[in-house]
Amino acid sequence: MKTVTCTAPVNIAVIKYWGKRDEKLILPLNDSISFTLSQDEMCAKTTVSISPTFTEDKFWLNGKKESLENPRVQNCLKEIRRRASKRKFEGSDENVWSWHVHICSENNFPTAAGLASSAAGYACLVYALGQVYGVEGDLSSVARQGSGSACRSIHGGLVRWYKGEADDGSDSVARPIAPPDHFPNLRVIICVVNAGQKKTGSTVGMKQTVATSSLMQHRISVSVTSRIESMMKAIKEKDWPTFCDLTIADSNEMHAVCLDTFPPCVYMTDTSHAVASLLHKYNDLKTIESNINHKVCYTFDAGPNACIFAPEAVAEEVLALLLQAFPPPPAQATDDYVKGIPSQP
């Protein structure tokens, strides 16, 4: 029997992936760029065991036995086994690719609340499978087949997922573009506005956007393409204020195309908008003080929760402002809060 345990971090997109050119292979309509967070606070953990004595594949997610019929898990598993079997023919003496697997995955943060749990989960699963079956080489294109955004969590730091041109997805891969400390002493604040499950999942939401939003045509053909290049330049030049502006603009454009979807995909709540507005006021103040390197930026995925990037020098101050404006609910209200009943964060 062989057993491997891996952890994988969450990544937060600063230029968003929203819309596919191929649903089955999970190929995006545009390139995206993300920051992979450190694993200390938020990560997925997966243990995989393979053995010639196992009679079937089995899967547990957060302690609950799950069906392995999920086509995305199957696609990842099939691709890892295909690569492992190729390795065997290249001289490996073990027949491990044919052994059944037992998979045990868990997240230490809310699943499906727009906090990129599937990204960390699939990146972790694919990496662990790759290790246990002895598969080498780029695994981002396998992780991509679990969940698009997962391919970016295979790498640390700033990562670009290239949409690629090939029909078979072979060039739709994630590559690191800068190390984690590229913008030194950066802190991330996650404001959990609501930890419940989102109404429309990303997969369904982006499909509806591609089918119905005319604004999406503009995003794909004009704005996101040029924003990617501006973001690459800002990263190369370590231009933090421009990085902030582009991150905010892309989050807002993604939510604009979500609202332009029919029926609309509404992810941000009044509280989400209030958080954004507070941060704009904060940035205005930093501009007046000629302290633009202390600007902060926010981004929202397919949910109401804000992800804020702040230089360490101002992180405590920003956190204090947020807690003052949006006091957390009393501990006993947590259950209701998790169900999303109170309107306050």
Contact between 124 and ligand DP6 per CB under 6 A: no
Which positions ≥6 away from 340 have C-beta within 8 Å?
194, 196
Contact 296, 283 (CB under 8 A): yes
Choices 113-121, 245-253, 272-280, 334-342 (CB under 6 A): range interacting with ligand DP6 = 113-121
Q: How far apart are CA 98 and CA 100, in angstroms?
A: 7
Among residue numbers 78 through 107, which ones bind ligand DP6 (CB under 6 A)?
Answer: none
Residue of the chain from 118, 194, 209, 247 that contacts ligand DP6 (CB under 6 A): 118
Contact between 301 and ligand DP6 per CB under 6 A: yes
Count of residues touching ligand DP6 (by CB under 6 A): 16
Site map for ligand DP6, 2-41, x if CB under 6 A?
A: -----------x--xxx-------x-----x---------
Q: Helices 117-132 & 71-89, crossing angle to 10 degrees?
A: 30
Nearest one of 298, 277, 112, 256 to 194, comparing CA atoms: 112
Contact between 147 and ligand DP6 per CB under 6 A: yes
Furthest CA-CA distance within the chain: 68
Among residue numbers 193 through 212, which ones bind ligand DP6 (CB under 6 A)?
Answer: 202-203
State the nearest-atom distance from the C-beta of 122 to ligand DP6, in Å: 8
Contact between 299 and ligand DP6 per CB under 6 A: no
State the nearest-atom distance from the C-beta of 207 to ligand DP6, in Å: 8
State the nearest-atom distance from the C-beta of 142 to ligand DP6, in Å: 13
Nearest one of 54, 45, 43 to 2, comparing CA atoms: 54
Choices 145-153, 163-171, 313-321, 335-343 (CB under 6 A): range interacting with ligand DP6 = 145-153
Q: How far apart are CA 254 and CA 120, in angstroms?
A: 21
Which is closer to ligand DP6, CB of 16 or CB of 45? 16
Which is closer to ligand DP6, CB of 248 or CB of 302? 302
Q: Where do the H-state alpha helices sit in the chain?
A: 71-89, 117-132, 140-143, 202-212, 214-218, 224-236, 240-259, 270-288, 312-325, 334-339
Cis peptide leading into 263, omega within 30 of 0? yes
Contact 337, 328 (CB under 8 A): no
Contact between 148 and ligand DP6 per CB under 6 A: yes
Which is closer to ligand DP6, CB of 166 or CB of 313? 166
Which positions lie near ligand DP6, rule CB under 6 A?
Answer: 13, 16-18, 26, 32, 116, 118-119, 147-149, 202-203, 301-302
